[in-house]
Structure 1
């Protein structure tokens, strides 16, 4: 049987042939492509010519391209459209890929060739991008155990394989817990305060399960409206308890022991390489160079933000007191925050949603990309998709094809929570061709119903802009080598493009261009638009403390693993000073903290706040010159196009003319 994954795709733009792919194709394709990739590596090893940048470093960079594409396809499916069979394959494939990677990175003959080129780099007259590729390649091998002795090398490989399995299991457990819970309600009185559009959503969820009445799930578009609008405090408490107990239930999907195992393996890995802990290992290759610098940054923000946060919570407590609540809990926060927001700014998310039809918001993002960078988006029906809800767009610049974009916006049983951008293929240049990228944006917005299209909360509007900022980083990539392209940058730089784009959502003149009522076409009134802009920093102190708490928790896990013991006790201690509500002994954040135990944010969660400094400073520069100023946009485009070819601070200084200032963030957040 011919395997559509094993050879270059004979499709439009060489896009993934989703209609032809079956689950049984993946395992043999991975086995075959690993073998093919190793043959390419053997070509480098068996080359008797003197090692050079071209025949070693460049050849290595271009090896395994089809394997990378198939990996991108498979692991995005495992996030966006998974099932038991795909999860089973993932448990087999992940260690296989890790072992393959270890065989390459610990190959002594290959490393000798790399080291020879690295040691003699002065004679090659390399340009900036080539120097970065050489440095990254050499460091990557060293950080993958190339300098270890035989026994330590073998142990390093075992650790890497175990980590790939356990990280996958962590995510699968969280997904199972999310899918396993639902709240079935037959009495509408229990749902008092929840807007009719949300009730309709709950009715349709119940209907899909062959139930009468209403069903609320732990998927965010279902969970958050209940927490925001339900007057029934017992319901809010029950839902919050279910949400906070994900993988903290002492059942088969509990992640507490997995956390200890993952952290212990990471610590052992770091020690083998000569680092005191995993955070030191990670941060050596970040803009923030050390755990100390990260903690100083987080503590400085904490000191500035806490008084504002305390003031915000005091205002909420006054509202709660009027309702007879003497002690507020975290499950009261969204409800009273929404009340206060409405009181202060006369803004109601449900009142705003009719003005933010998904298709119109998407169109606004496309228009913004056109105004800044001259990009044109054309929907195409010729590209194969992995689900009927996915849409595909060809992106052009001056009539020339630039990139392929997949959008996938609605929750499904097989899709993990949250929103993300990923790439099925990176941009790169080879043999005179500029290979263009295939980018995917995945979200979990409310589905359209029989009566209404998909309508977004304002927070969801900013989410779409956020992920599209990441997408532009991939779309505008203009590098030679695939492993320096697009979002292949230092991790605490990767959130700049995403968070930067969110700023446009608060610009009144831009909002007017797309905030239109889905039925009447009426533009959102000026006073409401101004109030959205004015409310930009609403609850900023509280949100900042929450992010700082998560950042400190992440750093604690990866800096002081010997202190962990009981997960809940450790979590409470390490986030002390950032929590403004009483701790609930029945819930914990860590067992569902997928960013650091499944995703790539280990010892890097601080980067969200770090990138806020960058994006506040960058957007301030745009504001100074006009937010659509072509010269400023061209400078910013060069920053995006460069990917990982330069040190990010140097890239930023080329764009801005100076290093970013923390004051820009503090000014934006707290005035």
Structure 2
């Protein structure tokens, strides 16, 4: 029986033909794809001709196309639409794929053949690709003896199983922990649209309650800034902060502790002192010590700023008779202070942030002004869920660039947070243009109601589209270097830069218009938002640093040390690092820290602020050079966004900026100077 997953799609840009796929086709497609790639690898190792770039490295890049297709489709579903059937398949296929990768990168014959490829007569991208393959073989354990390789395979298989289990238990606990409310009075402070959406969520979930407040991934929940009922705020905060910590079928702490121990053992096999050392070697940061040095520089002023903010919040809370400021009070009174001191109420801005305007007149408009690209919605093309929309993207001269998919609404089969995936990666070798997708988790309103975004959701839309541009503009020869396939501590840089356009005067004036009257958001309001930008930065920086330091604590464990009390370990690690979790809880606690236990950011969550050094410096460059201009857009696209990993990322930055990055702009942005 033919399997549509195994053949290149005939749709434009090879957009996967989702309607042709059935759940029972995935496992056979994975098995066939793995067998096909193994046969292709065998042909490489059996080649009697001397190894060269074309018959070895380029051949490896061509191998596994069917497996890459099914993996891109399936693992997008794992994050975006993880039905019970998809979760069952993930449990089975994850360990097999880990073993498959080990089989390739621990193949001694292939390792030796790659090592014998001559470096003469290669261009820059080819030399980088050859070096990258050699490095990946070594990091996968190709240099170990047979016993070491066997143990490495065992570790990778178990880590794959645990990562899947963490993700699935977290999704289940996030759904189970959604806050049930029966009395609308307990939701005082939320807008009528939000209350209607909560009622619709309760109906859709089959809840016995009248209202349901779903949870997003980070610790802070948006409703905490608006709920006037302190008991409701407490219930919502505790529902969020206790995910994974309960001793039930959804508990994730034991998984996290085992994963940290296994990663430490794997690092030791390869000669590293910790998983953090192993992970940072793969990044742009020069060393783990350099990362720790930067964080140590940031923590004291961030905590001081947070303590100063807390003083103002205590004074505001005292007006309500509250003497003991708690974490569930922070967002609520922070918004009060923002309103009183800066005359800014971020939640009152929702009517000016309607989704269609945000997309077409904001996100797409800024990209058109900078890069000349245009967007045409393709209603004839379907995504993997009815909520998914498809746009064709073209260059200024009308030439084809790729497809952009948008999946904006939350659902109980979708992971929390926001992200970008590549369904088709650009490659000149394979003659492919990119197909990328952005996922957000906006609460879907009741039927007929407008989709009004929070301020933070608009920031997220611009951020994730920065990742999309990184994928769409990719112009590299080889798949391994395509788009966002760059080090973790560089991948967030382009997306963070793209956030700047949200409040750029020309862009904000174009999209921030009242959904009923069309009136623009007053300039004085935009000015006040900018003036208030440092308010709350102490809390935001401290909560981020708390998560970062927690990540490094878990992944700096020495081999053979297993944490028996993860909750106590978490508290001690944060306190030792100078973060008071009672004052500022980390953005992610261990139980729901999906980035590091099921998302590829282990020992790399620092990358957001490491990238922000480059981002803040680049924002300064745009501002110095005239801002939203085609010349600036073309320079950023050609010198950085288009290069993927085919060039050294920091060298690309230096070519754009004319020098190394300077941390001064970041310190000023976060009020840490």
TM-score, normalised relative to structure 2: 0.96
- Name the counterpart of 1:649: 650
Per-residue CA shift, 1:581-626, capped at 9, x if unaligned?
62799x9810110000000110100011111111000010000011
Is residue 321 of structure 2 the alignment partner of residue 324 of structure 1? yes
Please point out which of 172, 175, 191 is paired with 1:195. Answer: 191
Q: Secondary structure at the match of 2:442?
A: coil
Contact between 1:221 and 1:445, CA under 8 Å: does it hold in 2? no
Q: 1:222 to 1:660 in 2, by over 3 A?
A: closer
Please state if 1:180 is matched with 2:183: no
Question: Which residue of the partner structure matches residue 239 of structure 1?
Answer: 236
Q: CA deviation at 1:43?
A: 1.4
Matches within 5 A, 1:232-311: 232-311=229-308
Query: What corresponds to 1:58 in structure 2?
Result: 58
1:8-43, Cα deviation, whole Å (9 max, x unpaired): 222232211101100000000001111111111111
Partner of 2:407: 408
Q: Distance in 2 between matches of 1:565 and 1:184?
A: 33
Aligned to 2:200: 204
**8 Å CA contact retained: 2:194, 2:445:** no
Going from structure 1 to structure 2, the CA distance change for 1:9 and 1:581 (only over 3 Å counts) comes to closer
- Inter-partner Cα distance in structure 2 for 1:137 and 1:416: 32
Distance in 2 (CA, whole Å) between partners of 1:560 and 1:160 is: 18
Aligned to 1:662: 663
Q: Distance in 1 between matches of 2:96 and 2:632?
A: 46
Higher mean C-alpha deviation, range 207-216 or range 484-493: 207-216
Q: CA deviation at 1:341?
A: 1.4
The aligned counterpart of 1:138 is: 134
How has the CA–CA distance of structure 1 residues 563 and 220 changed in structure 2, closer, same or farther, with 3 Å as cutoff? closer
Q: Deviations over 1:65-103 (max 9, x none)?
A: 221121011011011011111111101111111111111
**What is the count of residue pairs matched by the alignment?**
664
Aligned to 1:6: 6
In structure 2, runs of 5+ residues without a counterpart are none
Q: Deviations over 1:217-259 (max 9, x none)?
A: 2247998343111111111111111111111100111111111
Change (3 A) 1:225 1:565: same
Distance 1:155 1:247, change over 3 A: same
Determine if contact 1:553/1:575 at 8 Å carries over to the other structure: yes
Q: What pairs up with 1:470-549 in 2 under 5 angstroms?
A: 470-549=467-546
Counterpart of 1:393 (choices 369, 391, 394) is 391
Secondary structure of 2:403's counterpart equals strand
Long gaps (5+) in structure 1 = none
Distance in structure 2 (CA, Å) of the matches to 1:138 and 1:34:
22
Q: Is the 8 A contact 2:571 2:581 kept in 1?
A: no
Classify the secondary structure of the residue corresponding to 2:400: strand
Deviates more, 1:447-456 or 1:480-489: 447-456
Deviates more, 1:341-350 or 1:11-20: 341-350
Q: Distance in 1 between matches of 2:221 and 2:357?
A: 23
Alignment RMSD, CA only? 1.9
Query: What are the within-5 Å matches in structure 2 for residues 123-162 of structure 1?
Result: 124-162=120-158
Distance 2:217 2:211 in 1: 16
Residue equivalent to 1:635: 635
Change in 2 beyond 3 A, CA 1:319/1:654:
same
Query: What secondary structure, in the 3-state scheme, does the structure 1 residue paired with 2:436 have?
Result: strand
Q: Aligned partners of 2:542, 2:39: CA distance in 1, in Å?
A: 51
Q: CA deviation at 1:188?
A: 2.1
Instruction: Report whether the alignment pairs 1:465 with 2:477.
Output: no
In 2, the alpha carbon distance for the partners of 1:32 and 1:560 equals 39
Aligned residues of 2:347 and 2:455 also touching (Cα < 8 A): no
TM-score normalised by L of structure 1:
0.96
Mean CA deviation greater in 386-395 or 216-225:
216-225
